[in-house]
Chains A and B, each alone.
Chain A
Amino acid sequence: MTRIAPSGAGTVLWDRRPVLGWLIALAGLPFLRPARADGAVVEMRQIQFMPAEIEIVAGGAVTFVNADLVPHTATANDKSFDTGLLRKGERKELTFPKAGEFPYACKFHPHMTGRIVVR
């Protein structure tokens, strides 16, 4: 909806109310917001972390799920976190209270590496 400015100067003004309504509605769509921290999942599959890199917000959590036949860990290079041994089908949720970048690896399979970025 448009309206002509009362000044009569010919300027076309947008009625902001419906626009604001759309913005509010769009803000409710999950793909436009940062990933919910408690919804972040990293699968251990095919001797890889999938996804290998994940970004979450400070205070959020990541759930590691072992979908492989063999046991894995997700262990921070700086030892700031460690899932401990996870067997097939097991999962572990870890919370990341502070911003930073956290490279990690499986203790057992050193080629299996990943990175968590906390904003």
Chain B
Amino acid sequence: MSRTLLAGLVLAATLAASCAGPASAQDPAKLNDLEIAHAAYVAGDIDIRNAHLALALSDDPKVREFAELMIRDHEAVNQAALDLLKKLKAKPQDNDFSQALLKGAHDNWAKMAKLSGHAFDKSYAEGELSYHQTVNHVVGDAFIPNVENAELKTLLGSALDTFKAHEKHAAEMVAEIGS
């Protein structure tokens, strides 16, 4: 099993372990196209909600700029995914992996909402770096190699280019905010 895929599975398993819902997270490499579309949309939506929380709680210009970027970019990628699904007359399928992502996100938001000032900024920056690293591994090593629909594969590839830029930007934000 590749390190990257393992990272995705560890994420999903970790999220699922703290989840009262699904008993176990699904292997992201075994999702079908409609489940991949659902999980990718959910992952983007989680980051949009992370960003709205940051805009509500942070005064740091670097954090706010990054949060605005996340909202702008992930909304655009998710809209492109919805447009493609509409064109294909397909409906995304909910799945354990998506549910594990959501459960982990809800737990994270509950913790983040109790933070403020530098503690929030640091947690947000580090969380964004970690989230993009993990999501990029899952998209690049599990979703793209396994998705069958050519248009969805192209869309995921283009989205991954964007998410890699986000990862780089997040790493700089972490360094700038410091410990």
Instruction: Given the known inter-chain contacts A69-B158, A69-B159, A108-B72, please indicate yes or no for A88 contacting B80, CB distance below 8 A.
Output: yes
**Main SS of chain B's interface residues?**
helix
For A, the interface residue count at a CB cutoff of 8 angstroms equals 13
> Which of B77, B158, B165 meets A109, CB within 8 Å?
B165
Interface residue A71 (Cβ < 8 Å from any Cβ of B): yes
B46-80: CB near A (< 8 Å → 1, else 0) gives 00000000000000000000000100110011001
Query: Do residues B155 and A69 form an inter-chain contact, with CB atoms below 8 A?
Result: yes
A68 adjacent to chain B (CB < 8 Å): yes
Describe A's contact surface by its main secondary structure.
Answer: loop
Which residues of A26-85 are within 8 A (CB) of B?
A: 46-47, 68-71
Is the C-beta of B168 less than 8 angstroms from some C-beta in chain A?
A: yes
Contact yes or no, B158 A68, CB < 8 A: yes
* B69 (CB) vs chain A CBs: closest residue: A108
> A78 → chain B, closest Cβ, in Å?
21
Q: Do the beta carbons of B162 and A71 come within 8 Å of each other? A: no
Bound Cα distance from A68 to B158, whole angstroms: 7
State whether B162 touches A112 (Cβ < 8 A): no
User: A88 — which chain B residues lie within 8 A by C-beta?
Assistant: 76, 80
B161 within 8 A of A: yes
Report A26 CB to chain B, min CB distance, Å: 41
For the complex of A and B, 5 pairs with smallest distance between CB atoms: A70-B73, A47-B165, A46-B161, A70-B76, A69-B80
| Interface, chain B (partner A; CB < 8 A) | 69, 72-73, 76-77, 80, 155, 158-159, 161-162, 164-165, 168-169
Which residues of A line the B interface, CB within 8 A?
A: 46-47, 68-71, 87-88, 108-112
What are 24 A-B interface contacts by the 8 Å CB criterion?
Answer: A47-B161, A47-B162, A47-B164, A68-B158, A68-B161, A68-B162, A69-B76, A69-B80, A69-B158, A69-B159, A69-B162, A70-B77, A71-B73, A71-B76, A87-B76, A88-B80, A108-B69, A108-B73, A109-B69, A109-B169, A111-B165, A111-B168, A111-B169, A112-B165
